[in-house]
Chains A and B, each alone.
Chain A
Amino acid sequence: MSDLEPLPASRKFTVSRRPEKFADRITTRIWLEEPSSENPYVAKASYCHGYNILELASKRSFSDVIYLLFRGELPNEHEAELFASLMVSFINPGPRHAATRAAMNAGVGKTDPSNILPVALSIFGGEHLGSGEVEPALRWLRKNLKKSPQDLARELLHTVGSSDREGDFHVAPGFGSFYGSIDEMSSAIAEQLLRLPAAGPVMKWAAEFSKILNTAQMGWLSTGVVAATLADLGFQPRVAPGIFQIMSAPGLFAHGIELASKPLTAMPFPGAATTSSRSRRNEG
């Protein structure tokens, strides 16, 4: 790099404020707080997308109001049924999921209970069967919806072949093998959700896609079911990870707090790691 000028010792660095215009106030389309006439910091009424929160609290379900928060409108009867059913179906990733085990580790260590969910949800953000997989899954489904699901599945299976891969393989985000085979639980959940009237074109497309994958011991994964259902309910891809975190949070916290009243010995502590690293103690 001899033709590049070496750094002159006298190089000048100056720092000045960029003439950017920042907002005077935070804006939101979600929540309105009407100030009390006595104290401008105190709200006398709150509205979620125009609906009084007290009225919502007395007449609508938790899942309806979650839907309202993100979609701006309340769900109709069929949408409400599908969304509520999805949320119950994935209320708990189960005690073997890495995020649940993170919750358990946090719990058994007696962290503050308020720390359990942030810990667990951070791990749940992963791209392998976590919320990090549902956004790409939803984008992938929307991008491929016009293709034949059968042809695409065959093409992908042909492309990936049956190589000597170790572990699981996701042929597309949200779809693949689960411990080397079909994820029976996710398939059963998808089947049940598909029977509901609000199940739409994305779920139906993904079901056809999964059927072909089944021939290669692959199919729906939890993340694929969540992505396809949220797509049919009109949720944007960027919203999907948070919705998946919200629906799985109860199970994660339940397992974490269950361990919080138990001693450290309540969880396995395996033997020392078997390791192949050689000693470097006598190296120069």
Chain B
Amino acid sequence: MKDKKSAVSTSIWDHNRGVVRSNIGGWVIGKGVVNRGYEMMEDFVGKLSYMQVVIFNATGRMPERRLADFFEAVHICLSWPDPRIWCNNIGALGGTSRASALASTLAGTLATDARSYGIRPLLEGLAFIQDALRQYKEGMSVEDIVRKEAARHGGKPSMMGYARPIAKGDERVPALERVREEKGFPVGEHLALAFAINDHIAQVYSESINVNGYVSAFWSDQGYTPEEAYRIMAVGVSSGVTACYLDTRGKPAGTFLPMRCEDIDYQGVPPRELP
């Protein structure tokens, strides 16, 4: 439709008004559930792992089972039941507040859409190693790649995926290395570069690769973009959050890390008269 006075075209909205147009598929009542050309009940249920379907839904490409198993292993690595970890802490606070399990799990999971830790840093992690490999192939040395990144962060080796909060080293890396070897995935060029960077920063800065750096390199070798990896891992921490919810849900309400008034350090203006 075109408005005669203003010659404004609203055709794209008129075309989509009241009609679902999908590039994927959907439920055809009485016939089945189409998903990018597959019939889900026939082709997926009982034949694929859940993680294969998660990856398919997040990327449009069907991964082989062993690759989905690797992604699943990463989910396990992010499912720690430690309520000190920020997202898990939210789950525990949900339990002690008697919020629902689903609300608490999602609240904690949403908090990992964050810059300091969690899932969003995967965007930067994959972008870094993919860019680093491009530079390496153009002739830049590992030392120069690290030096260039460090210069951007005040001399610190703050590449996403190397070093982590709280601890030095990452126990998830050797665990996932074992899975990679068992599943028969060779070391690709991104992962080889990631380990070379790891060795260099270990010597120069006493830092090392973390789970983000490791999986970012491995998934880059498997052809995933930063955005695809981020989508696949969207709820990666959720199970750990649920575990922490469960722990405090089973105890008297309001008893998880309770605080006295004096436990807050007030640094604002002292009490004053209302004008």
Contact = CB atoms under 8 A, between A and B. Distances in A.
B268 A268 contact: no
Given A26-B263, A26-B264, A41-B260, A280 B12 contact: no
Contacts of A271: 19-20
B195 A118 contact: no
Given A4-B192, A30-B268, A280-B37, A112 B165 contact: no
What does DSSP make chain A's interface, helix, strand, loop or mixed? loop
B6 A181 contact: yes
A13 B192 contact: no
Contacts of B107: 118
A277 B271 contact: no
Contacts of B42: 281
A34 interface: yes
A274 B259 CA distance: 56
B25 A277 contact: yes
Given A13-B208, A28-B264, A180-B9, 7 more contacts: A15-B170, A20-B165, A27-B267, A28-B267, A28-B268, A50-B270, A217-B8
A281 B19 contact: no
A1 B197 CA distance: 14
B48 interface: no
A17 B6 CA distance: 66
Interface residues of A, number: 63
Contacts of A31: 264, 266, 268
A60 B193 CA distance: 61
A217 B260 contact: no
Interface in A1-30: 1, 4-7, 11, 13-18, 20, 25-30
A215 B51 CA distance: 51
Contacts of B12: 166-167
B38 interface: yes
B168 A276 contact: no
Contacts of B261: 33-35, 40-43
Interface in B242-275: 258-272, 274-275
Contacts of B45: none
B195 A60 contact: no
Contact of B269 (A41, A50, A59, A180): A50
B263 to A, nearest CB: 6
Interface string A59-75: 11000000000001010
A114 interface: yes
Interface of B: 3, 6, 8-10, 12-13, 18-29, 34, 36-39, 42-43, 99-100, 103, 106-107, 110, 165-171, 173-174, 177, 187, 189, 191-193, 195-196, 199, 208, 258-272, 274-275
A7 B36 contact: no
A11 B174 CA distance: 9
8 contacts: A5-B195, A16-B168, A28-B264, A31-B264, A72-B268, A180-B9, A181-B8, A277-B22
A122 B21 contact: no
B198 to A, nearest CB: 9
A16 B167 contact: yes
Given A4-B193, A7-B195, A280 B36 contact: yes
A181 B2 CA distance: 11
B68 to A, nearest CB: 18
A32 B37 contact: no
Contacts of A270: 18-20
A32 B10 CA distance: 54
A115 interface: yes
Nearest to B107: A118
A234 B10 CA distance: 38
A72 B268 CA distance: 9
A159 interface: no
B38 to A, nearest CB: 6
